[in-house]
Structure formats: C-alpha cells, structure tokens
Amino acid sequence: MRICFGPLLGLLIISACKPPPSDEAVSHGVVIDLARGPSQPIDSPDSSKAIWADSKTPGRLIYGNPGEAPMLALSCIEVGEYRTLRFTRFALADAGAGAFLALIGNAHVARLPVDATAHGDAYLWEAALPADDPKWEVLTGRREVTATIPGAGMITINPSDKPAALIEECRASSPNEAASDPALPDR
C-alpha cells in the first residue's frame, strides 16, 4: 500500500503560513482597543480615631481622623423638589467606574450604588439616594458601621449621633432648607 503525503504536506504548509502583523489591519479598521486597566486597589485606612465633624457647609458632615484629610462625607442636598443624602468616599476612582458601597452595622446591611463622580480633575466615589430611603437606617444606630467599596478599602465608622441627626433633619426639612454640597472636602 502506497500513501502519498506530498499534496497533504503542501496543504499543511500553506495553511500554517500566515502573514505577519502589518499596518494594513489598521487601514481596514481592525484595531484592538488597549484600554488601561483599573487602577490598583488601596489599603484600608486606619479609622480607629476617626470622628464625625460638622463641615463649614450646613447640612454636611465629614468623617476622618483629627488633623487629617477626611475619608467620608455625608450631605443633605436638594435635587429638584426632593431631599437627597449624598455619601462621598474621598478615594480616587477611575472615570466611568461604578460599584456598590456596602454599609454593614446597627443590625442593617445596605448596598448603595456608587459612581465615579468628577471633582475637578479627579474622580471620587459617590452615592446619592432619597433621604427617606430605608437604606440610610444603617447610619442611625449607636454601633460601629463598616463602609466598603471594592478597591477603595474598608473604613470603620465609629459610633456617633451626628449621622442620625443629619439624616432626620434632612428628612424633615423643607426642600428649600436642604444644603448644597461643595465639590471638595473641608480641610
């Protein structure tokens, strides 16, 4: 029995030959978008001595270690006719990014959608929900709460009556009394 490998070998060689990459693919619109990956996650900051403090802006609290830049802010803002609470995590976010903020404590678990929001040339994580949303109850108790955003670390929020007072005030105030929120933290 005689087997002829000549034609079969020729087909294998031809099919294995592919032209090298060239600029021709670019002219035909075959370009792969090499988007930058997400930024590196940051470590969780030490918040063992952190406190809630009144901001220079009425209707706004900031949270952080005394003498340092704030880690968080909670603001009562007016959106149309509605009072809204805005939660800001002062950690850099990638433009266009979105995630969920997990708030756990005081016998509550809340997952709030957060978006990278422009603040000048930087993007910070922000969540905004109506003031009467029950998810805010997680911040109204007298126990510690953890706040976690993937890639932005976990912050332990020490017990304080200030967030509960702001949330109640925001829910009770008329729309004209709600405060506006500045873009950058108090320093």
pLDDT confidence of residue 114: 97
In percent, the amount of the chain with pLDDT more than 90 equals 65
pTM: 0.74
Q: Where are the domains of the chain?
A: 51-173
Query: Around 76, how many Cα atoms within 13 Å sit in the side-chain half-sphere?
Result: 26
> What is the third-level CATH fold of 51-173?
Immunoglobulin-like (2.60.40)
Tens of pLDDT, residues 58-67: 999 999 999 9
Q: Helix (H, G, I), strand (E, B), or coil: what is residue 157?
A: strand
Confidence of residue 142 (pLDDT cuts 50, 70, 90): very high
